[in-house]
């Protein structure tokens, strides 16, 4: 048994208590929780366990923390995480109290345990174990922990830009620990991620709702107006987005890393069961759609009366929320201009309004083969297996590292595929929590060897 595993076994009850306290310290991002206790908890843990120099960075929104741990060389790696969580949601859909950490059937349940408190705590503990066993780190580690990831990391870019020539000056590489491992339970090294462009459209057709018997054929339903608008943005027959220049920057065939896609796991039956579908595309097309093609998703529509029975009204307002996952070099400002050009007349006449909700560019790091090999060996040593994904299907704000800090970035998620983040019964398996601790230890041990 290796020395770090023995250390984990001896001290695991202490580690579990830290995880419990972290999860049970509420930090719901969009319910305006007071984040003071959570920030103080992290500051205390960084200082006590890692002897870190901690700075609390005020932003236009919620604070970020920068924790600097000195090593024996000037080389510096940044580790990213976030302390904010989604709301608990409907309590009746949870099997446990969302704001209590419960271990059940080998899984820790609680809001934020998978996204991202369990993953962040595993990072801290892995570095702590290395320092306990070896005294000093072989290089500097800087943690940057933000509090607005669940709001779209709206102030992370400006924070990184502000710190680029001071606290983050020596950083040469960023490692993001967020997201989920693959559906087969193998740990993953991800080289890029899709971006996010979210917006809300609201159609207006009057000052108030009207009786459909009194105003039918005179007043247009805002819901019908909204459907007309959607048909100008998206062809529902061909499933193509009609916003001008939407596909500009989407990778072409020879830019797709087919060799990496071919090595990824693919259990068609299992994936269908997980997604509740009867069929899905074959392997290469499945991963191409997830990693290299943009999406246009209607996340929600609201208008009129949806209660019991019939209420014969013509709604005067209808709203749709749309999220687009972006790939390659799609440009958000180009998409905004295209959207506004299509709806220019409606916007001018105050028939339609746009509210932008999320803007995170896609990101890709062109890492050297030797650096990819280093990361895969780190994860494989800790967990026994690893796969490399060229693109993460989800969105993390990695553009701040590549475009603002100007350093390469990889994403190494620690949480299980079925963590149910953002949903009831969010969880992290005990095995993956321990694996995450071990990956962090191996990163400290092997990164620049």
Q: Where are the domains of the chain?
A: 3-194+363-446, 196-250+294-360
At residue 10, the pLDDT reads 97
Question: What is the pLDDT confidence band of residue 275, given thresholds at 50, 70 and 90?
Answer: confident
* Among the listed residues 112, 342, 152, the one whose alpha carbon sits nearest the alpha carbon of residue 234: 342
- Where are the extended beta strands (E) located within 209-270? 210-211, 234-235, 240-241
Q: Are 189 and 389 in contact (CB under 8 A)?
A: yes
The residue to which tokens 């709203």 are assigned: 319
Distance CA 199, CA 185 (A): 34
At residue 29, the pLDDT reads 87
Helix (H, G, I), strand (E, B) or coil at 178: coil
At residue 274, the pLDDT reads 81
Per-residue pLDDT of 288-298, as tens digits, reads 999 999 999 99
Per-residue pLDDT of 421-442, as tens digits, reads 999 999 999 999 999 999 999 9
pTM of the full structure: 0.86
* Among the listed residues 10, 222, 23, 243, the one whose alpha carbon sits nearest the alpha carbon of residue 114: 23
| Cα 166-171-174 angle, rounded to 5 deg | 130
Q: What is the DSSP letter of 137?
A: B
Domain at 196-250+294-360, CATH class: alpha beta
- Which tokens in the block code for residue 372? 């990819």
Is the pLDDT assigned to residue 316 strictly greater than 80?
yes
Neighbours of 41 (CB within 10 A): 16
Query: Per-residue DSSP letters for 141-158?
Result: EEEEEES-GGGT-TTHHH
Distance CA 129, CA 17 (A): 16
Helix (H, G, I), strand (E, B) or coil at 122: helix
Q: What is the DSSP letter of 115?
A: I
Distance CA 32, CA 420 (A): 22
Can you give the length of the chain in residues?
A: 449
Q: Are 182 and 157 in contact (CB under 8 A)?
A: no
The residue to which tokens 């704000």 are assigned: 397
Average pLDDT over every residue of 391-420:
94
Q: What homologous superfamily does CATH list for 3-194+363-446?
A: Zn peptidases (3.40.630.10)
Per-residue pLDDT of 17-61, as tens digits, reads 999 999 999 999 877 789 999 999 999 999 999 999 999 999 999
């Amino acid at each position: 048994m290796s020395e770090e595993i023995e250390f984990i076994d001896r001290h695991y009850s202490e580690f579990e208590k830290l995880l419990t306290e972290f999860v049970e310290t509420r930090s719901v991002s969009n319910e305006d929780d007071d984040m003071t206790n959570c920030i103080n908890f992290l500051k205390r843990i960084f200082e006590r366990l890692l002897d870190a120099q901690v700075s609390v960075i005020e932003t236009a929104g919620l604070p970020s923390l920068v924790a600097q741990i000195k090593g024996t060389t000037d080389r510096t790696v940044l580790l990213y995480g976030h302390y904010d969580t989604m709301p608990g949601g409907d309590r009746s859909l949870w099997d446990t109290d969302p704001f209590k950490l419960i271990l059940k059937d080998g899984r820790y349940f609680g809001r934020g345990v998978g996204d991202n408190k369990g993953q962040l705590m595993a990072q801290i503990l892995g570095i702590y174990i290395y320092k306990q066993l070896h005294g000093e780190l072989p290089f500097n580690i800087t943690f940057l922990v933000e509090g607005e990831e669940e709001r779209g990391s709206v102030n992370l870019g400006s924070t990184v830009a502000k710190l680029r020539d001071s606290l983050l000056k020596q950083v040469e590489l960023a490692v993001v620990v967020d997201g989920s491992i693959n559906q087969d339970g193998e740990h993953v090294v991800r080289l890029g991620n899709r971006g996010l462009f979210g917006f809300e459209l609201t159609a207006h057709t009057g000052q108030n709702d009207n009786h459909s018997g009194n105003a039918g054929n005179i007043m247009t339903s805002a819901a019908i107006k909204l459907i007309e608008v959607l048909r100008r943005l998206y062809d529902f027959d061909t499933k193509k987005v009609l916003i001008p220049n939407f596909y500009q920057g989407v990778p072409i065939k020879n830019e797709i890393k087919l060799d990496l896609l071919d090595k990824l796991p693919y259990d068609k039956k299992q994936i269908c069961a997980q997604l509740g579908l009867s069929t899905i595309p074959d392997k290469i097309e499945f991963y191409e759609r997830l990693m290299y093609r943009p999406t246009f998703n209607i996340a929600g529509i609201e208008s009129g009366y949806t209660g019991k029975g019939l209420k014969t009204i013509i709604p005067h307002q209808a709203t749709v929320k749309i999220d687009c996952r972006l790939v390659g070099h799609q440009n958000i400002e180009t998409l905004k201009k295209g959207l506004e050009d299509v709806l220019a007349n409606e916007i001018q006449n105050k028939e339609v309004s746009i509210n932008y909700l999320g803007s995170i560019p896609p990101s890709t790091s062109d890492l050297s083969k030797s650096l990819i090999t280093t990361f895969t060996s780190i994860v494989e040593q800790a967990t026994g297996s690893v796969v490399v994904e060229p693109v993460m299907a989800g969105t993390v704000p990695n553009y701040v590292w590549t475009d603002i800090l100007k350093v390469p970035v990889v994403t190494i998620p620690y949480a299980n595929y079925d963590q149910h983040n953002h949903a009831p019964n969010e969880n992290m398996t005990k095995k993956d929590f321990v694996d995450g601790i071990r990956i962090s230890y191996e990163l400290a041990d092997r990164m620049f060897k």
